[in-house]
Chain A
Amino acid sequence: MNTEITEVIEIVEIVKVDNEVVEIVDEVIEIVEVQHGSSPAHDHDSLVVKVRYITARKPFVDPRAPRNETLGALKPRVLDFFGLVEGSTGGGTKSYHFALNGIVQTNLATELGSLAHGEHELKLDLIERFEQG
């Protein structure tokens, strides 16, 4: 089994200690295990999915997401990665939505492959919406 460095991501964690802002910098090298010498998502049934959450530095990355996976199936994995929960609490509703090229995707039955239009990589954004109860 080979390994391939796909991305070097600098993570800067900002915390407040006694009201002082402290910066913790860490570099994470993302390594994707590649079986049989093939690159990520170079088969016809999967693709690389990257989801950017606009508050976070590090994106969600799945180097082998099935092309027939729907947005609805992808969503829980992404919310879990960013530690997010949606629902009605505190007098309002918070929900998360995928956006492609800035436009919110409302149909969760849409398959990743159809959004990628034949490309090997799909980049999405995760945005949050508020509705007051």
Chain B
Amino acid sequence: MATELEKALFEEELQAVRGLPEASRWQIERDDAVPLGLFAVVHPIAEPAELYRARIRWTDYFGPFSLKFINLATGLDNDPSAWPQCFGFRPGCLDVCLPWTAEGQALHPEWRTSVTQAFPKVEVPMQFALLQLQFSMDNTYQGRGHR
């Protein structure tokens, strides 16, 4: 359950991230289904026509976030072809198995006590989530997932 402070910080960051230099490449909207969630349409820097709609949700705003990709046309969240193929991204499993995602941390509980795989201390969770996603797409993108 999100605290009032988490909600307030979320609202503050929702405005702040729009001022990031990268924000001109994003279409951000709130995910009204949850208290702490958003949608962001993103693309790899080298392939601006390849659009992906990311759904980012937090249960703990300062913890790992859930990252899923939504089919832009249908809105479905179970389509591997709506996912980018990047390092650690697994379209076939519909998850991102990396230390910064809730899905990765759930699959690897041993990461919580690992110096290298524990979720870092984050002062700006939304900025962290969006930029981590963007860096993955800009540096490790290998195409669209397959059905």
Contacts and interface: CB of A to CB of B under 8 A. Distances in A.
A91 B62 contact: no
A94 to B, nearest CB: 4
Given A13-B123, A23-B9, A57-B124, A130 B117 contact: yes
B3 interface: yes
Given A21-B3, A55-B122, A93 B116 contact: yes
Nearest to B16: A57
Interface in B1-34: 3, 5-6, 9, 22
A125 interface: yes
Given A92-B114, A130-B117, A54 B131 contact: yes
Nearest to B129: A54
Given A55-B121, A56-B123, A103-B45, A94 B116 contact: yes
Do most interface residues of chain A lie in helix, strand or loop, or is the interface mixed? Answer: strand
Contact of A102 (B120, B121, B123, B138): B138
Contacts of A88: 116
Interface string A85-96: 000111111100
B142 to A, nearest CB: 15
B114 A91 contact: yes
A128 B120 CA distance: 10
B87 to A, nearest CB: 8
A114 B120 CA distance: 32
Contact of A89 (B5, B22, B115, B127): B115
Nearest to B2: A21
Contact of A55 (B61, B98, B120, B139): B120
**Which size bracket describes the interface of A in this complex?**
20 to 34
Interface in A99-115: 99, 101-104
A130 B116 contact: yes
Most chain B beta-carbon neighbours within 10 Å: one of A13, A22, A57: A57
A55 B62 CA distance: 10
A31 interface: no
Contact of A12 (B116, B123, B134, B138): B123
Interface of B: 3, 5-6, 9, 22, 45, 61-62, 98-99, 110, 113-117, 120-124, 127-128, 131-132, 134-135, 138-139
5 contacts: A21-B3, A91-B110, A102-B22, A130-B117, A132-B117
Interface of A: 12-14, 16, 20-23, 54-57, 88-94, 99, 101-104, 125, 127-128, 130, 132
